[in-house]
A and B are shown apart, each in its own frame.
Chain A
Amino acid sequence: DAGVTQSPTHLIKTRGQQVTLRCSPKSGHDTVSWYQQALGQGPQFIFQYYEEEERQRGNFPDRFSGHQFPNYSSELNVNALLLGDSALYLCASSSRTGAQHFGDGTRLSIL
């Protein structure tokens, strides 16, 4: 039973570029949440998708957007990248009432 999978594992971009990160949820899960984790800090909630709609959003600017597909997989898009966007981006999947299970994350570095 595959867990949560994220791609790519590591990405290097320059300021002003755009990036797309991908997440496939654990089998049986229909909800996907995205978190940003700066070095040495706890993860911060970006947004959550359920039934292909954004259901909740954290305190992140509109440069951060997402999408959920009919097979429950999800993408996180970040436009106009800033140096401060360098972080580990974690995807978590869950069922409606279950605990969230995390992927290995995508390490995004902005030069």
Chain B
Amino acid sequence: AQTVTQSQPEMSVQEAETVTLSCTYDTSENNYYLFWYKQPPSRQMILVIRQEAYKQQNATENRFSVNFQKAAKSFSLKISDSQLGDTAMYFCAFMKPSTGANSKLTFGKGITLSVRP
């Protein structure tokens, strides 16, 4: 079974600065997907960024980028130029592809990020 670990329960960052959120995972699979989701107090889970394990290049989406270290099973999220609207819980998630239907997501416990004005 896959596990996802987010060991930092809370982080705080000053507006406009850069912050990195950590995530490690455990799997025996070689092909899989990793995700970061954001959940603001409004509670909707929003996809931030996605990484395919077979791609060596780290994914980037505007101010969000990842550092994917496959051998170390590490998948950290870097948020540049932090904005007040980035305040939310952030979840790291793992998915093993399956034939046929889309597969389930395995989530970490999440980290609460607060952006200070």
- Which A residues have a C-beta under 8 Å from some C-beta of B? 31, 33, 35, 40-45, 48, 50-51, 55-56, 58, 88, 90, 92, 94-105, 107
Contacts and interface: CB of A to CB of B under 8 A. Distances in A.
Interface of B: 4, 33, 35, 37, 42-47, 50, 91, 93, 97-98, 100-110
Contacts of A103: 44
Contact of A43 (B33, B97, B98, B105): B105
23 contacts: A31-B101, A31-B102, A35-B105, A41-B109, A42-B4, A42-B91, A42-B109, A42-B110, A43-B91, A45-B106, A50-B101, A55-B100, A56-B98, A94-B102, A96-B100, A99-B33, A99-B50, A100-B47, A100-B102, A101-B47, A102-B44, A104-B44, A107-B43
Given A41-B110, A43-B107, A45-B106, A55 B101 contact: yes
B59 to A, nearest CB: 12
B45 A45 contact: no
Contacts, number: 71
Given A42-B93, A97-B97, A97-B102, 15 more contacts: A31-B101, A33-B102, A33-B104, A33-B105, A42-B109, A45-B104, A45-B105, A48-B102, A55-B101, A56-B98, A90-B45, A94-B102, A96-B100, A104-B42, A105-B44
B2 to A, nearest CB: 11
A104 B43 contact: yes
Among B46, B104, B106: residue with most chain A CB under 10 A: B104
